[in-house]
Chain A
Amino acid sequence: MMGFALRNLKVFFRDKAAVFFSLLSTFIIIGLYALFLGDVWTSNYEGVPGIRYLMDSWIIAGLLTATSVTATMGAFGIMVEDRGKKVVKDFVVSPLQRRSMVGGYVLSAVTVGVVMSVVTVVLGEVYIVINGGDWLGASELCQVLGLILLSTLTNSAMVFFVVTFFSSTNAFATASTIIGTVIGFLTGIYLPIGSLPETVQWVVKLFPPSHAAALFRQVMMAEPMAEAFATAPAQTADAFREMMGVQLVFGSTEMPAWGSLLVLLATALLFYGLSVVVLSRKAR
């Protein structure tokens, strides 16, 4: 399984185009934010101290969520391609066990997701500091790394489930472009959740990766929030949290951090379970 996962990683990272396209949505978000979204949001909150630092942290947190979705999708592209080009034949005629094969695909996708997320967080931090913000503290950094692992696990499970239905590279490429674009809306990255209509807000809140986004924001924005709202009344800070999707609110109850963690964990289990069911029904 490890050998097979290693093969997938090599195949993925040597394909420059695959790597680029798996980060496409990341580039889109950065582009949008750098060009105008960043200025729009900072000008909305003029006068708030350290608003740039705050908003930069917000966007990097969102970016992490999207990256782990699209990067795992890119890595799973190898599985679709192997199937489309009948390369699986070469694996099936060898004693390599089917579960090692599937395990190898999943392991490599999770690895790609984590690696790409770590790269994003490093570059993001550099960007924040250049813009006048502070480095993430050691304990926050550890929390972010833990969250990267968990959210990649969840996202890869969902992506894996989608991937099991594709056997043509073209169809999959189209699907991943669409998913890569929509993901920015569904997790409230292009637009903060508070600026969306009520029904769409519900969709966002029920979409598991949004919980990962909220957790990333809670950790990464803790310091800039404290700085920004030090002198402001508590309601202002709470309203901002809800508006920007730092705190997901269902009705009038706030979703606690452990609740979001639970949602992620449950989603991972559910979708890996479903994928196994689909794959074992297909195998005959």
Chain B
Amino acid sequence: MTNAIEVTGLRKAYGSVQAVKGIDFYVERGKLFAFLGPNGAGKSTTIDILCTFLRPDAGTVRIGAYRLGEEDRQIRGMIGAVFQDGLLDPLLTVEENLRLRGGFYDLRGRALTQAVEDIMKQVGVSDLRRRPYGKLSGGQRRRCDIARALVHAPEILFLDEPTTGLDPQTRKSVWQTLHGIQREKGMTVFLTTHYMEEAAAADYVLVMDHGEIAAKGTPSQLKDAYARDKLILVCHDTARTAARLREKGLACTETADTLELPLASTLDALPIIQDLREEIRDFEVIRGTMDDAFLAIAGEAIRE
């Protein structure tokens, strides 16, 4: 089984700024691949290159069976992309937009009508077909963008921050639709996002920072390697308990009326709690999350 995407030695610079500094990775067919990184890490540049929009300075990229830069037309026929901003025509209706874009993929006549009907139904925008795209709500618009990206049944779908700016309910329902379609068609999904719970649902995660690959693995591998589990205690007398813990050689930090202890695994919390039973009012054991892992990999400094 060949990979859906294979990237070797990919480089791209804007003037003297190295946006992508020679990265290698591959994406397995049919998987949900999450591509993370803080703003300015080189994510968008990479996705633009993979979508044939930007030309790389060096490196080779294979999309399916085709070589990027030589067989771009074939590549364009088998990929679909949802960009951060919706790029459909606001004055045209949903159906007109989809029919026009479907035409780009050599869909004609009945095949085009069928493809547009099918995808509108799958994505749940059939009722909106006669409404101008510009008059729709954010969530409805996003669904239409997805319909546009899938109108030609691509093998690989690129999603560039697809749910940014959507409310939590809409985000959830958009993902339900996406997961459903992906499972049904065995489509490969290449996702960039800032929502770690979305990345946690991926099959494989790659974190990029400063134009390089900072970490990669499955979500649980990354969590194991980078995220710490922790125990939070609410005590009757915080200072006394803290002293007792230090006596035992356990590091802890005091915050307000709680104590926080890093744990190697959640099970390690049990003997501690047992031991301090009399002194605590309440406790909480927290599994390391993708958020923690991401912050540990990319650092806490804010970038814009």
Assess whether B175 is interfacial by the CB under 8 Å rule. no
B266: min CB distance to chain A, Å: 44
* Known interface pairs A10-B91, A14-B92, A15-B91; A95-B77 also in contact (CB < 8 Å): yes
Q: Mark A187-224, 1 if CB is under 8 A from B, else 0.
A: 00000000000000000000000000000000000000
Give the contact stretch, choosing among A86-94, A127-135, A177-185.
A86-94
Contacts of A86 in B (CB 8 A): 83, 85, 87
Known A-B contacts A10-B96, A86-B85, A284-B55; A91 and B104 likewise in contact (beta carbons under 8 Å): yes
16 extra interchain contacts, Cβ-Cβ under 8 A, other than A3-B104, A89-B53, A93-B53? Answer: A6-B100, A10-B92, A10-B96, A11-B89, A11-B91, A14-B92, A15-B91, A86-B87, A89-B51, A90-B81, A93-B76, A93-B81, A95-B104, A95-B105, A95-B106, A284-B55
Known: A7-B100, A95-B73, A95-B106. A90 touches B92 (CB 8 A): no
Give, as a whole number of angstroms, the nearest-CB distance from B94 to chain A: 14
Which residues of the other chain, A, contact B103 by a CB distance below 8 angstroms? Answer: 3-4
Q: Name 23 interchain pairs, CB-CB below 8 A, sorted by A.
A: A3-B104, A4-B103, A6-B100, A7-B100, A10-B89, A10-B96, A11-B89, A11-B92, A85-B87, A86-B87, A89-B51, A89-B53, A89-B87, A91-B104, A92-B53, A93-B51, A93-B53, A93-B79, A93-B81, A94-B76, A94-B104, A95-B106, A284-B55
Complex CA distance for A132 and B274, rounded to whole angstroms: 107
Of B55, B83, B87, B148, most A-chain CB atoms within 10 Å? B87
A277 contacts chain B at the CB level, 8 A cutoff: no
Chain B positions 67 through 93: 1 when the CB is less than 8 Å from some CB of chain A, otherwise 0: 000000100110101010101110110
> What are the residues of chain B within 8 A of A97 when measuring CB–CB?
73
Chain A nearest Cβ from B112, distance in angstroms: 10
Nearest CB of B to A93, in Å: 5
A87 touches B87 (CB 8 A): yes
Report, as a range, how many residues of chain B touch the other chain.
Answer: 20 to 34
Interface pair B83/A94, CB less than 8 Å apart: no
Contacting residues, chain B, for A7 (C-beta < 8 A): 89, 92, 100
Say yes or no for B258: interface residue by CB 8 A criterion. Answer: no
For residue B89, give the distance in angstroms from its CB to the closest CB of chain A. 5
- Given A89-B87, A93-B51, A95-B73: A3 touches B79 (CB 8 Å cut-off): no
C-alpha gap A91/B105 in the complex (Å): 11
A96, CB-defined interface residue at 8 Å: yes
Interface string of B239-274 (1 = CB under 8 A from A): 000000000000000000000000000000000000
Residue of A at shortest CB range from B108? A3
Please report the C-alpha to C-alpha distance between residue A85 and residue B86 in the assembled complex, in whole angstroms: 10
Residue on B nearest A97 in the bound complex, by CB: B73
Does the CB pair B100–A92 fall under 8 Å?
Answer: no
Whole-angstrom CA separation of A4 from B76 in the bound complex:
17
**Residues in B neighbouring A6, C-beta threshold 8 A:** 100
B182 within 8 A of A: no
Q: For residue B158, give the distance in angstroms from its CB to the closest CB of chain A.
A: 8
Q: Mark A60-104, 1 if CB is under 8 A from B, else 0.
A: 000000000000000000000000011101111111110000000
Closest to B148 in A: A90
State A6–B96 Cα separation when bound (angstroms). Answer: 11
In the bound assembly, the distance between CA atoms of A265 and B12 in angstroms comes to 44
Known interface pairs A7-B100, A284-B55. Does A94 touch B89 (Cβ–Cβ under 8 Å)? no
* A210 CA / B148 CA spacing, docked (Å): 46
